[in-house]
Amino acid sequence: MDWHDEGLVIGVRRHGESSVIAELMTRAHGRHMGLVRSGRSRSMQPVLQAGNHVEAHWRARIEEHLGQYVIEPSRLRTAELMASSLALHGVGHISALLRLLPEREPHENLYEMASLIMDHMQARDTVPALIVRFELALLVALGFGLDLSECAATGTREQLIYVSPKSGRAVSREAGAPYAERLLPLPDFLTQELITMEVARAHVCEAFRMTGYFLERDIFGPRGLTMPDARASFIACL
């Protein structure tokens, strides 16, 4: 078994004296691990950093084996990411979220979104909104998607400003008014199509509050995990 694919480095751990096990989010093969021989060498260490894009050749005798990677650099971002604490925390958070996906299950849309975020990680005015949208897409991929298209109570698509913490569905201003204290905020940028728009920080923080509730309740809590420290650090940087 062997294949070639492009991938995003999301994790590396030592294996033996000089090798590592690299974890990539690949375009066509999903989250996939493989052994990189001499992965701790001077030439490979700068390549196998979270946030870098690489070209990967994976080979194994049978598909179920860990297999081996031959890695070639495609786009190295380490230097630019190191210049910003916001970017470093953002990379850590995206990598932690991608590691929640089942191994070897393709999610090309998440790969594309993660790649877009890495390309814009220095854009402080746009990348927070992109990461919120990525959290929503991850909830969908794991079977816990929210319905933000219409009001759960009336069916209207106008003035959707709340989300029900029970159903994960949008609620309109009028329908939600009597229960406002018990509902989560729904910033309007999450119901719009343009994903690289500049969004006010207050609205982004409201969106993180909303997505964080569902991530904690549906993803991290049931798995006995805590939310990544990188997420809280990223939000604090805002």
pLDDT of residue 199: 86
pLDDT of residue 82: 86
Q: What are phi and psi of 21, to 5 degrees?
A: -105, 115
**Spatial contact of 22 and 5, defined as CB atoms under 8 Å apart:** no
**Spatial contact of 68 and 35, defined as CB atoms under 8 Å apart:** yes
**What is the C-alpha to C-alpha distance for residues 51 and 57, in angstroms, rounded to an integer?**
18
Single-letter amino acid code for the residue at 180: A
| Domains within the chain, CATH numbers bracketed | 2-76 (2.40.50.140), 80-148+186-237 (no CATH)
Give the residue ranges of DSSP H helices in 142-178: 173-176
**pLDDT below 70 — which residues of the chain?**
194-197
pLDDT digits (tens, 9 = 90+) for 38-52: 999 999 999 999 999
**Spatial contact of 235 and 205, defined as CB atoms under 8 Å apart:** yes
Q: What are phi and psi of 34, to 5 degrees?
A: -170, 155
User: Is 0.75 surpassed by the pTM of this model?
Assistant: yes
Check residue 4 and give left, alpha or beta (phi > 0: left; psi -120 to 50: alpha). beta
**Spatial contact of 78 and 51, defined as CB atoms under 8 Å apart:** yes
Q: What are phi and psi of 116, to 5 degrees?
A: -60, -40
Q: What pairing do the DSSP bridges indicate for beta strands 160-163 and 53-59?
A: unpaired
Cα four-point dihedral sign 60, 61, 62, 64: negative
pLDDT digits (tens, 9 = 90+) for 157-190: 999 999 999 999 999 999 999 999 999 999 999 9
Return all residues near 208 (Cβ < 8 A) that are at least 6 apart: 128, 132, 135, 231, 235
Single-letter amino acid code for the residue at 167: S
What does each C-alpha distance from 46 to 55, 57, 100, 186 come to in angstroms? 14, 18, 25, 40
Residues in the chain: 238
Nearest alpha-carbon partner for 10 in 32, 26, 25, 28: 25
pLDDT of residue 221: 96
pLDDT of residue 122: 87
What does each C-alpha distance from 86 to 91, 114, 122, 208 come to in angstroms? 9, 16, 8, 15
Nearest-10 Cα torsion for 226, 229, 234, 235? 50
